[in-house]
Amino acid sequence: MAETMQFDLVSPERSLMSAQVTAVSIPGTEGDMTAMPNHAPTITTLRPGILKVETEKGTESFVVTGGFAEIGEKLTILAEKAVPHADMDQATYEALVKEAEAAYKEVKDAYFENEPGIVDEAAKLLQDMVAVGTHIGLDPMSPNF
């Protein structure tokens, strides 16, 4: 039997999952990482992506839009918004992309086009969101940049 750790996935509105898991793939802002039991204590922020949770019974995945993860003796993910992969359909996904797109446009209008930092970040967020679509087999749509 593989070693397990306590895993909690919570969003502000509800707690989505709480279980013993063997490994969790986290879409971190600076790259994906997989946390297994006895991982070094780490706190990382999340980018829009797919969270893959491996338990002894099987694998579950969630689409998260952002938030952060705290890895310690147990693993807690505080997601801004998290949707189980199974519940994710084109309509929900499109709403998420639209949201990211709107945020990007707003930032782009408010700041100079090429100002580094805030505009780039919003653009990256949008691209990540689009990439999620490709990963889960939904039409990624191609927003106008």
Name the segment binding other proteins (CB under 8 A); options: 24-32, 49-57, 112-120, 125-133. Answer: 24-32
How far are the Cα atoms of 83, 91, 108, 111, 130 from residue 97, in angstroms, in the given order?
14, 10, 16, 21, 7
Among 71, 11, 81, smallest CA distance to 47 is for 81
For residue 137, the minimal CB distance to other proteins (Å) is 26
In the set 13, 87, 109, 113, which binds other proteins (CB under 8 A)? 13
In the set 55, 68, 131, 135, which binds other proteins (CB under 8 A)? 68
Give bridge partners of residue 21 from the DSSP assignment: 5
Question: Residue 67 is encoded by which pair of tokens?
Answer: 């938030």
In the set 3, 56, 73, 80, which binds other proteins (CB under 8 A)? 80
- How far is it, in rounded angstroms, from Cα 120 to Cα 33? 23
Burial code of 9-22, b = ≥16 C-beta within 10 A, e = fewer? bbbeeeebbeeebb
In the set 4, 22, 55, 76, which binds other proteins (CB under 8 A)? 76
Give bridge partners of residue 49 from the DSSP assignment: 64
- 43 interacts with other proteins by CB under 8 A: yes
Report the residue number, 12 or 116, with the smaller CB distance to other proteins: 12
- Please give the residues from 88 up to 127 whose contact with other proteins meets the rule CB under 8 A: none
Question: Residue 137 is encoded by which pair of tokens?
Answer: 């087999």
Binding site residues, other proteins, CB under 8 A? 8, 10-15, 28-30, 40-45, 67-68, 70, 72, 76, 78, 80-81
